[in-house]
Amino acid sequence: MTMRIKTTSFLALLLTALALAPGLAHLFELPNKIGLSAQEYLTVQQIYRGWALLGIVVVGALVANLVLAIQLRSRPRAFRLAAAAFLGVLASLAVFFAFTYPANRATANWAVLPEGWEALRRQWECAHATAAVLNLGAFVALILAVLAGKE
């Protein structure tokens, strides 16, 4: 394994792990948050102010996984796994823009609760849970790609 691939592997692992962490936090919080009253939910949601900056980490993970897949293209098994990691992160980003972002817009980032806010809450929470599972799958595929790349 070349130094360039080792460096890309390190960056991909680091950025993918950092992209996974917030999603897992949302996933583990879901059972306790889904039944909160409107006022309790608004209060709890304020802890996420500033988390939009984590989008930079997700984009970094996406790019690092793509670069790694390209670098591993001569090793079919490692390439497929790295490509799967890239696709997992990409899918989590698609879930964000399809489901999480619209809920954030409809609620002004959870500063107001419009009519039918419970459906938006369910959409927001389930989207985060889905993205967490996709990012976890991406992280596992990435670990396996790095291990396969050493063969």
Can you give the pLDDT at residue 69?
98
Residue with tokens 């396969």: 148
Confidence of residue 122 (pLDDT cuts 50, 70, 90): very high
Q: Cβ–Cβ contacts within 10 Å for residue 67, how many?
A: 19
Residue-wise pLDDT tens digits, 6-32: 999 999 999 999 999 999 999 999 999
- H, E, C per residue of the chain: CCHHHHHHHHHHHHHHHHHHHHHHHHHHHHHHHCCCCHHHHHHHHHHHCCHHHHHHHHHHHHHHHHHHHHHCCCCHHHHHHHHHHHHHHHHHHHHHHHHHHHHHHHCCCCCCCCCCHHHHHHHHHHHHHHHHHHHHHHHHHHHHHHHHHCC
Can you give the pLDDT at residue 134?
98
The answer on pLDDT for 52 being more than 90 is no
Q: Could you list the residue range(s) of the whole structural domain that residue 32 is in?
A: 3-149
Confidence of residue 149 (pLDDT cuts 50, 70, 90): confident
Q: Which residues contact 111 (CB under 8 A, 6 or more apart)?
A: 42
Provide the number of structural domains found in the chain: 1
Instruction: Return the amino acid letter for 86.
Output: F
pTM of the model: 0.93
Q: What is the mean pLDDT of residues 38-43?
A: 95
